[in-house]
A and B are shown apart, each in its own frame.
Chain A
């Protein structure tokens, strides 16, 4: 299938392209016009709504990662930045403050004026870790020198959150021309917020589509696990853009921690089922694990959340990686065509998973945190497309199988019909044969007995002769009715015995000339019976009417015809009878019978010449219809 290979290659290329775009979008170095703050004064919050006394402050390097600098504290922290605006105000546009990452939420004061305060600063703090912040600095508020920017940052300690990405921290703020920073803000928002949002939406859509497919194909259990996997991943990534949950941080973290166990379950089960391998113990263990993850977090308490969760997550990631390896290893020999594409998809997924795992503990520099949101949906959609394609292929195979089966069913029913017809024919033939036998037996028993009684009780010779002839006729008819084809050589034997026997009984010298070697031809019962009648009639005529002393009978087979010539040296048939050729001579019936056999019967006779009766019967037809 060329289409499949095209599709696979296309998909791999698309993944590579996405990776390149992601990398190229990585922010470059700050421009010369922009001030980058590498350090700041930091002071613990004293809840007066202003930067505390500078004497309590200390200098911290930026970015300030709370996980390193104050791992156990989760109280808000003030940062003070100082800068001179000489020359900057002279530039065309207004100035702006840009903070790429201020986790979890920040308030901005410039020269004592509160310029930005959005969302909650107490638990549950609005989680805007990914949301870049752009604050316009009104020129009226700025001085030539000694401008103060105070930032009040609220956040959580690393141990309070499942992922390091949600731990408190501040990236180096930038101050510079609004236009330049705005462009950067737009780009970072796109990558950090819009992209994950779209990704979540795509994943939910993929999950829904696969779920529908799974409903239709209940036997393909891997589909439903894939659907669950896509949905689970969508929910996990949803935390990136769901800023405010109406729950205390600890509760929402616990809720979120339920997901990875389930996602790992779905992932491992999907991979195993896709590879065609099912194990009840593994399934049970995965469910137990999915329950154990949140349970252990509850038991460990709020201040060890990150440690326990990241240990779990590492374990889960290892399981998924192992399942991927197993899946690739087991499909490799059987599904060579799918192998490379599945391999690419799984490697992408593995890459993303490893990045995510790293992000649990470390604050990764840009662009690494964004890559998963870009790549994972692609991997999921690619896999979903692959599954749909696979289903389509199976459907096609099933359709072909169904068509083949249909053909076979049609053939079989045709066979059956033919057999049935044959059986019906045989049955009809059998019944016909039985019926003929019954008729024959009846004829013999009833008609035969009565004719016989007439033969032997009649006073009149004529009547008893007629009855005897009738009896013979009846017997012949029965034979024609029930008889099998007769070999021509056997028929000749029968005829010879009858003719020679009768002639010798009546003192007529008979001569019989016929082929005596084995002849392959056969006569149908009808042809045998009719020929017997003709011959018998002819001999009767000779004995009764001709007064002949000699009779010659010649049989021969010539060009497919059976020819019989009966010649006597009698007085011949009287002239006045020639026209009608009958009156007891039975000539008409002889001719009629020959005609019935598609043959002919010629009579040559003249006073003094005797009589010759020539009978010709086509042989093939009777052998064929025998």
Chain B
């Protein structure tokens, strides 16, 4: 049995998503929320295995819920379900700990397949997100205060995968090019997401500390 959080403010879409999720996970136990506030309450009450979070909600951004889940339920897999496909909207959610994203307008079968894949540890990664991740880690490689910064960097392989994704190659293609199994490539992507989250949190902590230093 899987406990699933479904955060979506539009009732029709929520209902539609619910049937879709139940189709993929027939034994899933779904908790629904239409607002960030309700979702946060659910998160503190129930332990979830999977969370589908919309970003633009009436009382805030779903990123807050992703963050909270990352902090309190590290086992839970957060997936952003959104209408925005651009990295400007998605990247903060990924930094907060989201494991992947689903574009809402895609056909039912495609979404179902993506959910399956994510469940099997194969998160999606678009070229624009890949470029953003590359830029992010390139900036991290030369931090202003190297001693204070926990050193999180990508391995050569991970960078290689990201570069190829950025050029528009699909993950199976990259697997063929690098002579790696589809599974291994997926692991790299997962690892990239995790590192992005860890580095971002360290950065946030450092930022808070810096602000604290200034305040003193």
Contact = CB atoms under 8 A, between A and B. Distances in A.
Interface of A: 441, 444-445, 448-449, 451-453, 455-457, 467-468, 471-472, 475, 479, 489-490, 492-497, 500-501, 504-505, 512, 516
A490 B131 contact: yes
B167 A496 contact: yes
B204 to A, nearest CB: 24
14 contacts: A449-B13, A452-B10, A452-B105, A453-B12, A455-B105, A467-B105, A475-B83, A490-B127, A490-B166, A492-B167, A493-B131, A493-B166, A497-B170, A500-B169
A500 B170 contact: yes
A479 B84 CA distance: 11
Nearest to B106: A468
Contact of A471 (B10, B13, B83, B86): B83
Contacts of A452: 10, 13, 83, 104-105
A494 B127 contact: yes
Interface in B62-120: 83-86, 104-108, 110
B102 to A, nearest CB: 12
A444 B12 contact: no
B131 A444 contact: no
A496 B105 contact: no
Given A449-B83, A455-B105, A472-B105, A492 B10 contact: no
B42 to A, nearest CB: 23
A456 B16 contact: yes
Interface in B158-192: 165-170, 173
B126 A497 contact: yes
Most central of A456, A504, A516 by chain B CB within 10 Å = A456
A468 B85 CA distance: 13
Contacts of A490: 127-128, 131, 166
B168 A448 contact: no
Contacts of B127: 490, 493-494, 496-497
B56 interface: yes
Nearest to A474: B83
B105 A451 contact: yes
A455 B170 CA distance: 26
B83 A516 contact: no
A505 B165 CA distance: 17
Contacts of B128: 490, 494
Nearest to B56: A445
A444 B56 contact: yes
Given A451-B105, A490-B127, A479 B173 contact: no
Contacts of B84: 444, 475
Contacts of B173: 500
Interface residues of B, number: 26
A441 B61 CA distance: 13
Contacts of A468: 105-107
Given A497-B126, A500-B170, A448 B13 contact: no
A445 B167 CA distance: 31
Given A490-B127, A494-B127, A497-B127, A457 B12 contact: yes
Nearest to B128: A494
Contacts of A448: 83
A496 B56 contact: no
Given A472-B105, A475-B84, A497-B127, 20 more contacts: A445-B56, A448-B83, A449-B10, A452-B104, A453-B10, A453-B12, A455-B105, A457-B12, A467-B105, A493-B166, A493-B167, A494-B127, A496-B169, A497-B168, A497-B170, A500-B168, A501-B170, A504-B170, A505-B110, A516-B167
A415 B110 CA distance: 59
Nearest to B131: A490
A457 to B, nearest CB: 5
A555 B138 CA distance: 29
A500 B167 CA distance: 12
B83 A444 contact: yes
* Closest 4 pairs between A and B when the two form their complex, measured CB to CB: A496-B168, A493-B168, A493-B127, A497-B168
Contacts of B131: 490, 493
Contacts of B16: 456-457
Contacts of A457: 12, 16
Contacts of A494: 126-128, 168
Most central of B86, B166, B168 by chain A CB within 10 Å = B168
Most central of A441, A492, A494 by chain B CB within 10 Å = A494
Contacts of B83: 444, 448-449, 452, 471, 475
A104 B75 CA distance: 133
Interface in B124-156: 126-128, 131
A456 B165 CA distance: 30
B56 A475 contact: no
B170 to A, nearest CB: 6
Contacts of A497: 126-127, 165, 168-170
Contacts of A472: 105
Contacts of A516: 167
Nearest to A479: B86
A604 B19 CA distance: 45
Contacts of B110: 505
Nearest to B55: A444
A516 B168 CA distance: 10
B166 A456 contact: no
Contact of A495 (B56, B107, B168): B168
B12 A456 contact: yes
A134 B195 CA distance: 129
A523 B64 CA distance: 35
B140 to A, nearest CB: 20
Nearest to A504: B170
Given A453-B10, A453-B13, A475 B85 contact: yes
Contacts of B13: 449, 452-453, 456
Nearest to B9: A449
A505 B113 CA distance: 11
Contacts of A444: 56, 83-84
